[in-house]
Structures are given as C-alpha cells and as structure tokens.
Amino acid sequence: MNTQIPLLLPLNRPQYVPSSETLISSLAWEVLESEAGHGANSGRRYMATGARADDVAQSRPVDSDALIAFAQALVKGGLVGEAGHYELIAEGVLNSVAGVRPTKAKSRAASPMTPGLALLQDAVGMTGLRNPVNYASILETMFLLGSDEKTGSPSMARRWLGAALRRRETDPLLRIIDDAFIDAYGNYSPKDQPLPPETLRGLLPNSPFGWLHDAWVKLTSDQWVDALPPRVWVDWATTVLRMGMAFGFLWEAERYRMMVQLAAEGKDGPTQVLTEPPELLPWPASYLPVSTRSVRPAMRRRIDEGGQLRVLIADELKRTQDESGDWVGSDAFLGQAREALNDPSRPSSLKNVYETVFYSLVRRDESDHYGLLVRQTTNYTLVQPGTEWVAMIAGLSADGPGRPTYVGKIIAQLSRLGLRPPLPELVKLLEAAGLARGSADADHGVRVANPYEGDR
C-alpha cells in the first residue's frame, strides 16, 4: 500500500457552520490578535437576530452613545455626514457591512471585507458552542494536501490577510470603516500561526483539496482582489471555502469506502482510489423526474459508510500502530467492516460531517445565489446551482479576470471537485448566466466569457 499518504487523513471532525463568513473569520483569528485583549474564543458575534436580540452581546454598536461614537469616527476618517444625523449615518454603514442571514440563524456575521470586520465575530459567538471545532485548522490541512507549491509558501490565512489589507489600502470607504471599528474595539496586529506538518504538502493535488488550493491562490492574488467588488470578492471566497470543505469531506469518506472495497477485492486500495477524482455527488439531468434526481440519499450514504470505516481504521491504527495498512484486506478487519456498514446507528460525529457537507452545499435562503443544491421539498434535494455559483466556477477556471475560458476547462475543474455535470446542462446554466459564447454543438470548445474584467 501507498505509505506516503497517511492511512488516516489528519482532518478533525467538522461541525455545522451557521454562517459561511465564520470560515473567513476563523482564518483571520489564526493570524491576527486584537490589542483590546479579545481572543478567538471570546464569543464575538456581529449581531444577534430574533426576539431577544438586545439581550445578547454584539460587536455591532447598538445603544445611542455607541452609535454616535461610531459615526463620529467615520466622519473623522473622512466620511461626509451632517451633524445631528450621526445615528442614521452609523446605522447605514453598519447595515451595509452585515453579511448574509441564513434562515432561522440566531446570529448574523459582518461581511469580512477587511481585517477589522473579520474580527467582529468568532466561532464561539457564531455557533453558540463553548468549544467549537477549529475550522481554520481543517481548511489549512486541506489546502496543504492540495498544494503544489514549495515549502514556506503562504498559508490560506496569510493569503487572506494580504488580500484584505490590499482591499483596505485600495478602497477608501472600507479603510474608513475599518478604522472606525479600530476606534471602537482596538487595533489588530499579526501573530504566529500554527500550521499542519509540511509532510502533507502536495499529497493530493488531483482532488477537491487541489481545487481548493488553486482557487484560493487565484482568488487572493492582486489581480483578482483588484477586479472584484468587495462584497463579490467575499462571496466568492466564502463559496470557495464552502465547496472545499464539503467536497473535501465527501472525498475523504469515499477514500475510506473505496480503500476497503478494493482491499476486499485483493487490490491496492489507496493507490487506485487516487488515480483520478471519483464522482462524489451525482448530477442528474434536469429532465428526469424530481423523485429520481434527489442527491441527498447518495450523499448521506457515502458519508455514513466512509465515516463508519474511518472509525474502524482509526481504532485499528491505535491498537496496532501499523501504518502500512496491510491489515485492511484481512478477513478479521473486513468482517468488522461488514458489520459496521450493516449497523443502522449513526454516531454523532457522522451526523456532524453530514450536516457540514449538506449545509455547505445547499442554498441557505432565497437570497443565497452561491449554493449548489436546492431543497425542493423536505424529501428532495436537487442539484440546481445559483447563478452566482456558476459565475464563480466559470470565472476561476479562467487564467485571470477578464480572460475567457471554455466549457472543457470548467468541466475539468468541476471534475476535481467530484462533479460531472451533463454537458447540455452546464451549457444551459452558462447561457442563463449570460456567459456562454457559441453553441452546444461546439462541445467542450464552447467559449465562456469571464464575469469580471481585469480593471474596474
């Protein structure tokens, strides 16, 4: 068996993320610290939603004195405003930086367009959990697994910080807003970041981890930061993280499932499963009946089966300390695997993985145009990507902002994620987004326009 790639991937078990902006804030807290003494686990949330919102601590200024002080900081920074209307000025700016509010969510994040805005929430405050999972650690591990760069290349968090600082430098309004929050909560400064071991670098480039790495490197480059409007850049960034997280865990589950299946057939599982990206989520044609197009059962089955096998592999590794994995094909282990796969119970860890994947992919509400899946009813979940999701996938498949791409390149990138859309379906989506140039007869050579030019 392949001993270079760890038998058990060092990915901590995830938890459902109520707000995708939390993922960027988690990266921010890895490389920044607040001079006011707040830490990454102090329970920050930008604003609470619901009937008792005023009873919950918020980083958004709420009372009259705080609003006036915030508005005065904005005016001092250069924002034009009339004296006597300070509260209206403050409310307008504060509403403009609020992030997406998922349906039924108890908290709403600030859109992390600058370092100061990203530090207005953390995982504790947004999840309500005392000890939430370290999302940044999971993402950094995935990023390193997919990397094709040299040792010492910037991490995901440091790339984000560079992009956010550039955004602050080039956008006068964002700089004023960032400074106003610095006045309210203290400045921020860089700090050292714990990183996964370099031995993981580049082990799995032809996988969702590789797609996550390449998309993030491209998106945090100066040319893309300069080309995209601030809110669009944040939306694209959170979508890249959502897709990377979801398909990364689907890929992990499929790896364990195929490892055991191929070992049972007397084949070298870990090497064969990595030869090309497997299909991780079916993409049925839209003309099929709704009842046959729901992808939720296949998603749950893959996560449950892979998760059960991961538990067995972890237990066996702990018992034997044998990293070779030769025991995966033994009669004893395969017997345990069959029993586990026939067990109808679902440990909470599997439920957490499933919810992480599902809610990363599904549209959170009607205003979420970056989701891949849509809940048709309580019984059916369909592949029906939002227009902005299509634009992001197409844009990042190009060599740069304003440069065209082709359907074949988009299909190749989607394949790395584990998606294999029917060609007519993909062309139809691109046409609906106003990006397709040509006709479906051109097959993979259909020219696709880039949604954003290089210079704004």
Instruction: Copy the structure tokens of residue 293.
Output: 């197009």
At residue 368's C-alpha, the angle toward residues 137 and 350, to 5°, is 45
Q: Could you list the mean pLDDT of each consecutive 10-residue stretch along the chain, which spans 456 residues?
A: 74 91 96 80 83 65 90 89 77 92 81 96 90 96 92 94 96 96 92 93 93 97 95 96 97 92 75 71 93 94 94 93 87 93 82 94 85 90 95 93 91 95 93 77 76 59
CB atoms within 10 A of CB 111: 22
How far is residue 1 from each of residues 5, 46, 262, measured CA to CA in Å? 10, 49, 11
pLDDT of residue 177: 96
Q: Whole-angstrom Cα distance, residue 13 to residue 130?
A: 16
Instruction: Copy the structure tokens of residue 393.
Output: 């996938």
Q: Which residues of 210-233 are buried (b: 16+ CB within 10 A; e: fewer)?
A: bbbbbbbbbbbbeebbbbbebebb
**405 three-state secondary structure:** strand
How far is residue 227 from each of residues 85, 230, 253, 400, 450, measured CA to CA in Å? 34, 9, 36, 9, 11
pTM for the complete prediction? Answer: 0.93
CA 135 to chain centre: 10
Q: Whole-angstrom Cα distance, residue 277 to residue 295?
A: 18
pLDDT of residue 392: 95
pLDDT of residue 84: 65
Closest CA to 281 of 302, 261, 262: 302
The residue type found at 388 is: E
Q: Read off φ and ψ for residue 34, nearest 5 degrees.
A: -90, 130
Does residue 81 contact residue 95 with C-beta atoms inside 8 Å? Answer: no
CA 206 to chain centre: 18
pLDDT of residue 379: 87
- The structural domains of the chain, with segments of one domain joined by +, span 21-49+57-245, 247-365, 385-448
Q: Whole-angstrom Cα distance, residue 355 to residue 353?
A: 6
Q: Whole-angstrom Cα distance, residue 59 to residue 185?
A: 9
pLDDT of residue 250: 97
Instruction: Copy the structure tokens of residue 339.
Output: 């029993």
Q: Whole-angstrom Cα distance, residue 374 to residue 356?
A: 16
Counting every residue, how long is the chain? 456
Q: Whole-angstrom Cα distance, residue 311 to residue 12?
A: 13
Instruction: Copy the structure tokens of residue 404.
Output: 């065209």
- Find where tokens 């996988």 sit: 207
Does residue 217 contact residue 114 with C-beta atoms inside 8 Å? Answer: no
Closest CA to 439 of 421, 423, 418, 420: 423
pLDDT of residue 158: 98
